[in-house]
Amino acid sequence: MTDVLEHPVAVGDHGHHEDHGPRGVLKWLTTTDHKVIGLSYTVTAVIMLVIGGLFAEIIRAQLASPNGTLVSLAQYNELFTMHGSVMIYLFAGPFAFGALANIVVPIQIGAPDMAFPRLNALSYWLYLTGSITMLSGFFTAGGAANFGWVGYAPLSNSINTPGAGADLWIGGLLLTGFSAIFTGVNLVATIFYLRAPGMTMFRMPIFTWNLLVTALLILLAFPVLTAGLVMLYADRHFGTHIFSVAGGGVPVLWQHIFWFWGHPEVYILALPFFGMVTEIIAVFSRKPVFGYKGMVFATLTIAALSLGVWAHHMFTTGVVLLPFFSIMSLLIAVPTGIKIFNWIGTMWRGEIWFSTAMLMAIGFLVTFLIGGLTGIYLASPPLDFFTHDTYFVVAHFHSVVMALVLAGMAGLYYWGPKITGYLLNETIGKIQFWFLFVGTQVFTFPIYLLGLRGMPRRMAVYPHDPQWKFLNDVATVGAILIGVSTILFVVNIIVSWKKYPAGDNPWDGHTLEWFTTSPPPHHNFYRLPPIRSERPTWDYNHPEHTALGHGEHAKDEAR
């Protein structure tokens, strides 16, 4: 178990080359190193989180009083459209499969880089230019896109929404869509072809497994969105009538196409974060993942089912097959339940270390459970008819996505030291966690109730109703707490800047990224341990705990 390769792993046929590359801005422009690209993705995505968060704070400030006058009705439409668009298209997805996946996946499987480094760089540039394109709508005469982040036809056609803002929204999505597709191709090729010797598929860390499934989902879903956007653009400018009744088109076709991408997209966002918390919970419980194969099975099942549930967003259109989509949606609760069970099973009787990353992961678990359970209600058509387009739906998906933000923060606290070489301050981190976690619940609970009391979403002003006013005020307080937590995160980065050296393995980690240096060298590894389980670094550091194969149990050994 100790035969470690002591000389550098040869990668590429050009030997060492980390010392004579370009520096500064030119390095950033020309890099093909997955870690630098991943870091660029991380910084850009966090900036998008802050921009989207600012939109959210303005929205909540507007709703703090029934007849808010902070923004005009038209500006409010732009704000909620761009809040959703920035958070979904420009933050959550790219942060998950662009930022942390880019940095961590190749290292976890012992690869020197992504399979197609230049394609990887192109993905980043398309993501950055797409983000700029979409946001530049604010600087055009008609303002940014204002038809909601779902761009429903016929509201999004050239008669109802003329102007450059909508076209920039479409253009931005085309660029970021191709960026996602290229990243998907890259991840699949990397995971299929660049694993280290002994790293069989069923020894891959769960994070890598989840990213593989995410990448497959990207390849299944994103081309559909891109095709839909081309059709939408053609309707707006080339006189086609694909989505307009007047010319014989079908407006609801847009919803089919959009949600055929949109629901798998929910899991494209969620699965990487599921992977992050799986790693974090196992490491900080000092136990292997409970039910490894069950986790893989659950991930694959969620992905497979997610392609057959798109029209549960369209129950109230009256033209979809209610029983089919209801059954398929409810079925997703089963593999998700397996995951929740396995996360708790991993913590069960573990030596839990309540670090900031672990707290964030537990916060994710609780918040995601609330979001998941309310999703089961919404999968039932009679309940959905009652709550469709109310704040109940908004609360449901904000529970889900705020859980993902908690998981993302967990990922930053956990993997940040690997990529920068420095730890973040744990005390500030824990205060940040409590603001974020409490803020999330204070924000979502009142808007669940608002939804049940009939408040529709996307309203800039609302009737003078003492209950609605009170619940909106509480939600606004929650949003402020979440804002404070984001400020604390920035403060933490400034306070901890190059202050607490992390060492190679600060958490006594399980997977290969904790075997190499922090930050890793140019092609990631000078040496590799033997890979005999899904925890090669742990096996190497703790030879007293012999790794057991799948299906073998300590009890059997004792017998």
Partner 1 sequence: MKVEAKILLILGLFFGIVAAVYWRWSVENAGGVMLVAAMLLGFLPGSYYWWWSRRMRTRPEDDPTATPAQSAGVVGAFPGTSIWPFTMGMGAFFVVLALVFGIWLLVPGIALVTWALLGGIAEGRRGGRV
Tell which positions 264-303 bind partner 1, by CB under 8 A: 300, 303
Element (H, E) at 69: none
Per DSSP, the residues of 267-302 read HHHHHHHHHHHHHHHHHHTTSPPTTHHHHHHHHHHH
Q: What are phi and psi of 545, to 5 degrees?
A: -95, 95
Q: Which of residues 185-224 bind partner 1 (CB under 8 A)?
A: 192, 194-203, 216, 219-220, 224
Question: Comparing C-alpha atoms, which of 541, 468, 477 is closest to residue 510?
Answer: 541
Tell me how far apart the alpha carbons of residues 450 and 43 are, in angstroms, rounded to a whole number. 35
Closer CB to partner 1, residue 159 or residue 319? 319
| Residue at 435: amino acid letter | F
CB of 12 to partner 1, least distance (A): 5
Out of 60, 83, 256, 418, name the contact with partner 1 by CB under 8 A.
256
Residues 6+ apart with CB under 8 A from 546: none
Question: CA 217: distance to chain centroid?
Answer: 13
Q: Which of residues 302-341 bind partner 1 (CB under 8 A)?
A: 303-304, 307-308, 310-311, 319-321, 324, 328
Q: In whole angstroms, how far apart are CA 114 and each of 17, 36, 103, 354? A: 17, 12, 9, 33
Closer CB to partner 1, residue 328 or residue 471? 328
Out of 113, 384, 513, 534, name the contact with partner 1 by CB under 8 A.
113
Q: Which stretch binds partner 1 (CB under 8 A): 115-123, 423-431, 455-463, 483-491?
A: 115-123
Q: Which of residues 433-462 bind partner 1 (CB under 8 A)?
A: none
CB of 543 to partner 1, least distance (A): 16
CB of 305 to partner 1, least distance (A): 9
Q: Which of residues 458-487 bind partner 1 (CB under 8 A)?
A: none
Out of 4, 47, 490, 495, name the contact with partner 1 by CB under 8 A.
4
Tell me how far apart the alpha carbons of residues 311 and 554 are, in angstroms, rounded to a whole number. 46
Judge contact between 127 and 190, C-beta under 8 A. Answer: no
Q: Between 73-85 and 34-62, two packed helices, what is the crossing angle to 10 degrees? A: 150
Tell me how far apart the alpha carbons of residues 42 and 21 are, in angstroms, rounded to a whole number. 22
Out of 104, 126, 144, 481, name the contact with partner 1 by CB under 8 A.
126
CB of 418 to partner 1, least distance (A): 20
Give the x-and-dash track for 504-543 against partner 1 (CB under 8 A): ------------------xx---xxxxxx-----------
DSSP-based three-state secondary structure for 367: helix
CB of 127 to partner 1, least distance (A): 9
Q: Is 125 in the site for partner 1 (CB under 8 A)?
A: yes
Does a cis peptide bond (omega within 30 degrees of 0) precede residue 251?
A: no
Tell me how far apart the alpha carbons of residues 302 and 458 are, in angstroms, rounded to a whole number. 30
Closer CB to partner 1, residue 16 or residue 499? 16
Structure tokens at 232: 């939408």
Give the x-and-dash track for 53-92 against partner 1 (CB under 8 A): ----------------------------------------
CB of 552 to partner 1, least distance (A): 13
Closer CB to partner 1, residue 86 or residue 174? 174
Out of 31, 85, 190, 472, name the contact with partner 1 by CB under 8 A.
31
Closer CB to partner 1, residue 207 or residue 468? 207
Question: What one-character DSSP code corresponds to residue 70?
Answer: S
Which residues are bridge partners to 23 per DSSP?
none
